[in-house]
């Protein structure tokens, strides 16, 4: 997200709103791009019609993500196809249980 979106010292200057949308799957199976497509389709229904929004997508899957899903996540970051009427994708992150466990271990030190 660019720094020009928010100036919390001046509420009238807030020009875009950061929002995190995510999907979490506990199955040991590798998750595919269909999970991401479902998440992307929900965005227009969740984002209010007023304001400008920056959407960060987070996918957490116990069994990890397929190569197709990882490619889709990268493509969303580089293309305009998933941007909506008043929102743009700012980030997409896919993680598996091993990564989450490692991060939590690192943070607790």
* pLDDT for position 1: 41
d(CA 109, CA 19): 29
Domains of the chain, earliest start first: 3-107 (3.40.50)
Collapsing DSSP states into helix, strand and coil, what is residue 44?
A: helix
The more confident residue out of 3 and 94 is 94
According to DSSP, the residues that pair with 21 across neighbouring strands are 57
Structure tokens at 6: 């928010």
Q: What is the pLDDT of residues 38-88, one digit of tens each?
A: 999 899 888 888 888 899 999 999 999 999 999 999 988 777 667 888 888
How much is the pTM? 0.78
Query: Which of 22, 13, 18 minimizes the C-alpha distance to 1?
Result: 18
Q: What is the pLDDT of residues 8-49, one digit of tens each?
A: 454 444 467 888 999 999 999 999 999 999 999 899 888 888
Q: How many CB atoms lie within 10 A of CB 14?
A: 13
């Amino acid at each position: 997200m660019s720094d020009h979106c928010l100036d919390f010292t001046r509420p009238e200057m807030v020009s875009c709103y950061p929002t995190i949308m995510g999907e979490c799957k506990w199955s040991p199976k590798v998750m595919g791009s269909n999970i991401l497509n479902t998440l992307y389709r929900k965005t227009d229904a969740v984002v209010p019609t007023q304001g400008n929004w920056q959407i960060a997508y987070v996918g957490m899957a116990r069994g990890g993500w397929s190569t197709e899903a990882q490619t889709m996540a990268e493509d969303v970051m580089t293309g305009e196809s998933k941007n909506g009427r008043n929102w743009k994708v700012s980030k997409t992150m896919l993680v598996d249980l091993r990564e989450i466990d490692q991060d939590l271990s690192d943070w607790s030190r």
